[in-house]
Amino acid sequence: MQHDKYSSVYSDEELFARLKGIRHVALDMDGTIYMGMSLFDYTKPFLARLKQMGITYSFLTNNPSTSIADYLKKLAGMGIEATADEMYTTALATIDYLKTHLPEAKRLFILGTPSMTSEFVKAGFEVAEDSADDRPDAVVVAFDKTLTYDRLCRAAWWIHQGLPYIATNPDRVCPTDQPTVLVDCGSICKCLEHATSRQPDITLGKPDPNMLSGIMQRYGLRADEIAMVGDRIYTDVQMAFNAGAFGVLVLSGETTLDIVAEAPRKPDLTADSIAVLGDLLAQARE
């Protein structure tokens, strides 16, 4: 069903029936509630509206470059008061994966920002130096805004040696309101693949459904009671599909209508912004 500000793969009757059952909204951050350092003017009213409707929400991000504490500080600076329990990043997803699947990995070579690396240290991991004599147990590659050529080469060396290799997220670029392209983890991994002929052993973050599994457990929800909202089909919406949740694409970030038109599977709902989603959720409850 096509309207001026939204479209859906469902008829209006079917769409409102689905939206009426939504009890939690999982929100991507960059490109969805803000762009770079600029909060969208409709974000705070949208969050307030969710609370009025009794709908809980959480913030999920594939961007691991910032620690939970720094994310909360950033949100607070924008006027959004959030708790650590409302945040889940791919750095935390990677830590959970390592502890579950590679419990013997204690020392890591990390391509990541100091802010992200602090999350691993806080979780009990040691960080290997940039030295051929300091052999790590595994390599973690992330969205590294502090990346240097020497460390990129060291990561390639350890990957070439066959060490376990984990990527935090598959994103090719990070949304920004600045006149530049922010090369993200997926693109860094492509560089490393070209140099080593190896892909990551696992790539975490959206669209991996485990990020939503944690939300389901934390709030006692079924997948169909969660709306996953984001600005990318290949991460945010695909994770919703993979988890059995309701997938909402907003056009406030990376994705354009031309990209939607070419997608083999369309989002359950495509909306201009989260403000439009708020209107639809309210309509569904009237």
Lowest mean pLDDT among 83-87, 125-129, 215-219: 215-219
pLDDT, mean of residues 171-192: 92
Higher-pLDDT residue of 239, 178: 239
| Structural domain boundaries in the chain | 6-62+206-247+268-285, 101-203
Whether the Cβ atoms of residue 82 and residue 129 lie closer than 8 Å to each other: no
**What is the pTM assigned to this prediction?**
0.78
On whether the CB atoms of residues 88 and 209 are closer than 8 A, the answer is no
**Tens digits of residue pLDDT in 67-106:** 899 999 999 999 999 999 899 889 988 998 899 899 999 9
Query: 57 is written with which tokens?
Result: 């929400």
Percent of the chain with pLDDT over 70: 100
pLDDT value, residue 206: 87
What is the helix (H) or strand (E) element at residue 241, kind and residue range? helix 238-243
> Which CATH superfamily does the domain covering 101-203 fall into?
HAD superfamily/HAD-like (3.40.50.1000)
* Residue 197, number of CB atoms within 10 A of its CB: 9
Q: Is the preceding omega at residue 207 within 30 degrees of 0, hence cis?
A: yes
* 101-203 matches 6-62+206-247+268-285 in CATH topology: yes
CATH 3.40.50.1000 fits 6-62+206-247+268-285, yes or no: yes
Q: Is the model's pLDDT at 4 over the cut of 90? A: no
Q: Which residue type, as a one-letter code, is found at position 216?
A: M
Instruction: Yes or no: say if 28 and 229 are a contact pair by the CB < 8 Å rule.
Output: yes
pLDDT tens sequence across 11-45: 999 999 999 999 999 999 989 999 988 999 999 99
Q: Which two tokens stand for residue 60?
A: 């999920």
Rounded-to-integer distance, Cα 11 and Cα 20, Å: 14
Provide the 3-class DSSP secondary structure of residue 276.
helix
Query: Which DSSP category does 198 fall into?
Result: -
Region of 83 (left: φ > 0; alpha: ψ -120 to 50; beta: rest) is: beta
Least confident of 40-49, 179-188, 212-221, 272-281: 212-221
SS3 150: helix
